[in-house]
Amino acid sequence: KELGEGDDDKVEINELRKRVEETGLSKEARATLDKELARLERIPPSSPEYTVSRNYIDWILDLPWTVSTTDTLDLDQAEKDLDRDHYGLKKIKKRILEFLAVRKLKPDIQGPILCFVGPPGVGKTSLGQSIARTMNRKFVRIALGGLRDEAEIRGHRRTYIGALPGRIIQSLKKAGANNPVFLLDEIDKLGTDFRGDPSSALLEVLDPEQNSTFTDHYIDIEFDLSKVLFIATANMLDTIPGPLRDRMEVVELTGYTDYEKVVIARRHLLPKQLEAHALSEDDLEVTDEAIRTLIRSYTREAGVRNLERELAAICRRVASEIARGRTGKVVVDSERLHDILGPVRYFPEIQARSWGPGLATGLAWTPVGGVILFIETSSMKGKGGLTLTGKLGDVMKESATAALTYIRSHAGELGIDEDLFSRIDLHVHVPEGAVPKDGPSAGVAMICSLVSVMTGRTVRSDVAMTGEITLRGDVLPVGGISEKVLAALRAGIRELILPVLNEKDVLEIPEDVRKGVIFHYAHTISEVLDIALEKKVDA
């Protein structure tokens, strides 16, 4: 040994022992560290094992075993903070304020495990940051999209060279508190391969009964995660495994209405873009009419990401004019908008269609929001064949078959000659042909389209519909109602036919959205046909 080397080692060990005394460790952690320190004393500092052992001790000592931030429990202030950061989203704000209210009465309550589900760009991730600010907690985000290795969650065992704790423990060390707001982003996009299943590893993390004793493979000591407020985000629930979904309280976020988008653009997006482009309100004014044109004719989305990009394009144009010496305020109205952004990109789809018998408007749900779906049916001489095109899935094909069976069994009531079925072939097509489509909710639109072409009665172009059908003529409820209603409004449709059992979903849609829409609730297919088909004019 070099002169004085042993003394340096003892000083280092004593400093570590002092840190152990000062850190509020659990009994298990204290016992493990005492044992590890005794082992460290016997290892020569030049040995690679010394560094491994020292790193392990540092990791344990750096964790926030007893360090917590103090929650802000002023409910009025919390409500103001949430309203300032996000417009709308009342259901989620109410849930957070309820948690704070209970926390005020019972300080040791476990944090809820929430899952925000909604289309891209509606504010799921930024809402997590806002909640952390409102509660005065640290914020930690883990991106789970494409994660395939279970060790990313639970860590690697110390026997591996270069082993480290998993992302949960790493993030807690980074946060420096044992009660952060923990955002698990894109939980629906977790993968699986030969290295394990990360979604199964998250079961322990997200179970309130188990997460008070979470054990990372590297640390190998129980760590209490019960004080953490976990928030997961997803675009769709279908790809989240059942057991994982069962552990979370799902809160659905819908897309924004045109009115909400105007308010968001005015309050949040435009000021942000003005600041980013070194502009002020004295340099640029965008009228409300221009923002509405931007929303309806240049973007078609449930969220506001594209709207922000288009506002950024306007700011760039104005900034370049100012850089070239222009003075005075630039006012962007609908006319000036066309000069800056070019021709209109989107038209109301109904206006773009040539309408006639056999065409019906359905409503569909996608992970990026609701869309309207056109069902086209043509008839030709034949022997009773049915052709289905438009990249339809099995469930949708079965809906078309069920619709035709219902029509054949009720031909007399519908005023259709029974011999007609053996004299014609029917072709049902659902544009856009390259986009895969599936699900039972287009059943009512398909039956309207088929009856329309067989009777010559046109389906009303100002009505859209959704619902599953049965062979007995019942109309069954479907999902994604709020997204579908918003899609109809974006397309300029103000009259909708829905299953009667979906009335409860409509009541959850904001009143200012419902106000301008006429809802028809149908029990049976005959009720749908009475509303949807134009009356036959007698010659």
Active site residues: 441, 484
Contacts of 116 (CB under 8 A, 6+ apart): 92, 124, 127, 128, 231, 232, 233, 234, 251, 253
Q: Are 257 and 512 in contact (CB under 8 A)?
A: yes
Is-cis flag, bond preceding 49, omega within 30? no
CB 503: neighbour CB atoms within 10 A? 13
Closest residue by Cα to residue 177 from 129, 136, 124, 205: 136
Query: Residues 290, 291, 292, CA angle at the centre, nearest 5°?
Result: 90
For the chain, helix (H) and strand (E) counts, in that order, are 23, 18
Rounded Cα gap, residues 449 and 456, in angstroms = 10
Rounded Cα gap, residues 373 and 445, in angstroms = 9
DSSP-derived secondary structure letter, 371: E
Own/partner contacts of 189-192, CB < 8 Å, gap of 24 or more, are 189/144, 189/145, 189/146, 189/239, 190/144, 190/147, 190/148, 191/146, 191/147, 191/148, 192/148
Closest residue by Cα to residue 137 from 91, 86, 100: 100
Collapse the DSSP code of 335 into the 3-class scheme (helix H, G, I; strand E, B; otherwise coil) and give the result: helix
